[in-house]
Amino acid sequence: MRIRATPFFRFAVLLVVAALMLTPLLWALAASLRPPEIPFAQGSVFFASSFSLANYAKAFSLAPFARYYANTIMQVVAIIGAQVITASLAAYAFARYRFPGDRALFIIILLQMMIPTAALLVPNFSTIRFLKLYNTIPGIALPFFGSAFATFLLRQSFLSLPRDLADAAAIDGCRWDQELRNVYLATSRASVAAIVLSSLSYHWNDFLWPLVVTQSDTVRPLTAGLVRFTQMGEIGAQWGLLSAATMIVTLPLFIVFIVFQKQFVRGYISSGIK
């Protein structure tokens, strides 16, 4: 007998899945608000009898989070700006023109998505040292100025645009850059928003590459700055303090995603990715 899932049943399943995924975040939030003098004990893992912001105050006193935030924002803005420019130019060329080897070149670009980031650490590090960009914000951002994923997403969005609309713009005297800006990008704002949010989420949370290519707090982003807490032996087991530092790093990104989640989903739908 075939069982039909009712809307209530589907909602209940999604609610359980959402609760399971939110549990680590809720635990970190509860741990960060636990007063330092109240230890974690069996049966008292989530919420204590009172709440305190002492862990947040101590975290700010132990690490220069203002500098970490500034470095992270500069790094992310540089990467996103470069990716939007390079991906839109490449996607426009692949969607608008036909030239020898265009399919092979596009496949080669997509193959880059199959290469693990860890496999590129050594060549990227060697290139950054050769360019004398070690321990600089441009050195962190430079390897990500091109994005195969962003190129693919924008190309799919550009291909969904009627060809006649672009031809009409060319007949009206639009140059290629005006056509790209006023026709293709203007009608692909959802895809651009999805690229921006995806890149923001990835590079805000990126840890390994910034840690490898930096050595001082003057240029380290938020995630690499958290290493400071693991190197302090006297606070190794203070989960409340570590949770507070983690929440300082992740909460802004979580809020951004909650606010712009509709644009994020709309961008993938409009590009034809299911």
Domain ranges for the chain: 63-270
Q: How confident is the model at residue 267 (pLDDT cuts 50, 70, 90)?
A: low
What pLDDT score was predicted for residue 47? Answer: 65
- The radius of gyration of the chain's CA atoms, rounded to the nearest angstrom, is 23
What pLDDT score was predicted for residue 270? Answer: 58
**Residue 274: pLDDT over 50:** no
pTM: 0.83
What pLDDT score was predicted for residue 85? Answer: 94
Q: Provide the token pair at 153.
A: 């997403």
Q: How confident is the model at residue 86 (pLDDT cuts 50, 70, 90)?
A: very high
Across 53-57, 131-135, 185-189, the highest mean pLDDT is recorded for 131-135
Average the pLDDT over 235-240 and give the result: 65
CA-closest candidate to residue 133, choices 87, 75, 76:
75
Q: Are 169 and 92 in contact (CB under 8 A)?
A: no
Q: 132 — alpha (psi -120 to 50), left (phi > 0) or beta?
A: left
Does residue 174 sit in helix, strand or coil?
A: coil
What pLDDT score was predicted for residue 264? Answer: 66
Domain 63-270, CATH number (from 3.30.70.20, 1.10.3720.10, 3.30.70.360, 3.40.50.410): 1.10.3720.10
